[in-house]
C-alpha cells in the first residue's frame, strides 16, 4: 500500500510535520540553555564549593567534604537565623496571606467604588522597596515617628520599634498588610472569574452570604490560594532585602534571616564554603516544603 504525500512528509527534513515538531525546540533551545546555565549550574556549583575550604586565589581550595555543614550546624547563630526565618514566615502567613484574601472577598461584595478601591490597593505595589522602607522607618522612628504619636494619643507608652528585638519582626512585616498590592488583585480576579451560573444557582438554593463564600467561592478559587501560598512560603524563606534595609539583621540578630546569614557569610566573613553550604540547605528546605504543599493539595482534591 502506497503512503500518502502527507505521511511521506513526516520524516523529510523540509516537510511540514517535521518543521512543526522541530520549530518549538529550536525556539526554546536558547531560553532552556540560559536557564540551565544561569539557574541550575550555580546550584550545582554551590554544592561543589560547599565541599571545599574555598580559596578564591587558588580555587577551589582544600577538599574537606561535609565539614562546612558540620561546623555550620554547630553554630548557634545559624539556628537563630532559622528561628527568625520561620517566625517571619508565620507572620507573613497571618498578616500578608490571609488578610489580602479577606480584602478581596470584601471588595467583591461592593457595588460602588470597587474600581477606585482596587486602584488604591495596587498603588503601594508601584512604590520601590527602598522608598517604602524609608517611609516606614520614619513612621517607626522612636522620637518623631507617627506610630509613637498614635500610641501616645491612646495613652500608651512610646516604643523603640526597630530597636526592640520583640517588635522588629512585626514592624518589618506590617507594611505589607495595608497595601495588599497584586495579591488582592489576583484574588479578586479569581473570584470574579467564578461562573455567574454557579452563583445564580447557589442563590436560588438559598446559599448566600457567608455560606456562598465557604461553599461556592473558596472551592472555585482554591487554585489561586494554593499558588499564592507556595509563592508566599518561597519568598519568605528567602527574605533578605526588607530585614536588611530596616535593621541590617539587628538588633542583636533578631531580624537575621537565612538570606541575611548567607549574605553576611559570603560578604563579611568571606567564608564561601559555609555560605554555599547554607544556600544548599536552604534550597533543600524550600524544596521539601513545596513538595509537601503540592502533595497536600493533591490529597485534598482526591
- What was the pLDDT predicted at 68? 93
The answer to whether residues 50 and 273 touch, using CB atoms and an 8 Å cutoff, is yes
- What was the pLDDT predicted at 227? 86
d(CA 284, CA 291): 10
- What was the pLDDT predicted at 1? 46
Q: Which residues contact 124 (CB under 8 A, 6 or more apart)?
A: 132, 178, 179, 180, 181
- What was the pLDDT predicted at 14? 57
- What was the pLDDT predicted at 176? 79
- What was the pLDDT predicted at 83? 95
d(CA 218, CA 209): 13
- What was the pLDDT predicted at 255? 92
- What was the pLDDT predicted at 2? 47
- Please list the ranges in the chain whose pLDDT falls under 70: 1-16, 18, 178-180, 299-302
- What was the pLDDT predicted at 70? 94
Domains in the chain, CATH or no CATH each:
5-49 (no CATH), 78-301 (1.10.3720.10)
- What was the pLDDT predicted at 21? 79
Give the burial class of 93: count Cβ atoms within 10 A of its Cβ; 0-12 exposed, 13-18 middle, 19 or more buried. Answer: middle
Mean pLDDT across the chain: 84
d(CA 211, CA 92): 27
Q: pTM for this one?
A: 0.84
Give the burial class of 16: count Cβ atoms within 10 A of its Cβ; 0-12 exposed, 13-18 middle, 19 or more buried. Answer: exposed
Amino acid at each position: 500500500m502506497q503512503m500518502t504525500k502527507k505521511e511521506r512528509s513526516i520524516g523529510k527534513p523540509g516537510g511540514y510535520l517535521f518543521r512543526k515538531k522541530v520549530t518549538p525546540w529550536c525556539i526554546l533551545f536558547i531560553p532552556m540553555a540560559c536557564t540551565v546555565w544561569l539557574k541550575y549550574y550555580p546550584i550545582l556549583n554551590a554544592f561543589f564549593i560547599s565541599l571545599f575550604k574555598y580559596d578564591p586565589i587558588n580555587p577551589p581550595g582544600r577538599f574537606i567534604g561535609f565539614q562546612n555543614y558540620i561546623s555550620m550546624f554547630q553554630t548557634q547563630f545559624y539556628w537563630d537565623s532559622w528561628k527568625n526565618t520561620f517566625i517571619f514566615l508565620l507572620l507573613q502567613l497571618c498578616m500578608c496571606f490571609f488578610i489580602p484574601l479577606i480584602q478581596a472577598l470584601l471588595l467583591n461584595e461592593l457595588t460602588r467604588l470597587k474600581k477606585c478601591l482596587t486602584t488604591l490597593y495596587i498603588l503601594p505595589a508601584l512604590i520601590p522597596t527602598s522608598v517604602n522602607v524609608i517611609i516606614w522607618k520614619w513612621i517607626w522612628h522612636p522620637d518623631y515617628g507617627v506610630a509613637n504619636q498614635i500610641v501616645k494619643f491612646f495613652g500608651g507608652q512610646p516604643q523603640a520599634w526597630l530597636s526592640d528585638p520583640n517588635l522588629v519582626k512585626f514592624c518589618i512585616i506590617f507594611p505589607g498588610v495595608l497595601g495588599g498590592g497584586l495579591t488582592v488583585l489576583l484574588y479578586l480576579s479569581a473570584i470574579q472569574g467564578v461562573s455567574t451560573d454557579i452563583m445564580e444557582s447557589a442563590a436560588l438554593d438559598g446559599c448566600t452570604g457567608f455560606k456562598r463564600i465557604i461553599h461556592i467561592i473558596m472551592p472555585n478559587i482554591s487554585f489561586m490560594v494554593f499558588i499564592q501560598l507556595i509563592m508566599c512560603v518561597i519568598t519568605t524563606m528567602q527574605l533578605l532585602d526588607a530585614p536588611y534595609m530596616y535593621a541590617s539583621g539587628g538588633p542583636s540578630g533578631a531580624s537575621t534571616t537565612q538570606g541575611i546569614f548567607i549574605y553576611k557569610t559570603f560578604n563579611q566573613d568571606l567564608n564561601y564554603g559555609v555560605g554555599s553550604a547554607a544556600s544548599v540547605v536552604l534550597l533543600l528546605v524550600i524544596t521539601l516544603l513545596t513538595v509537601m504543599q503540592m502533595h497536600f493539595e493533591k490529597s485534598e482534591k482526591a
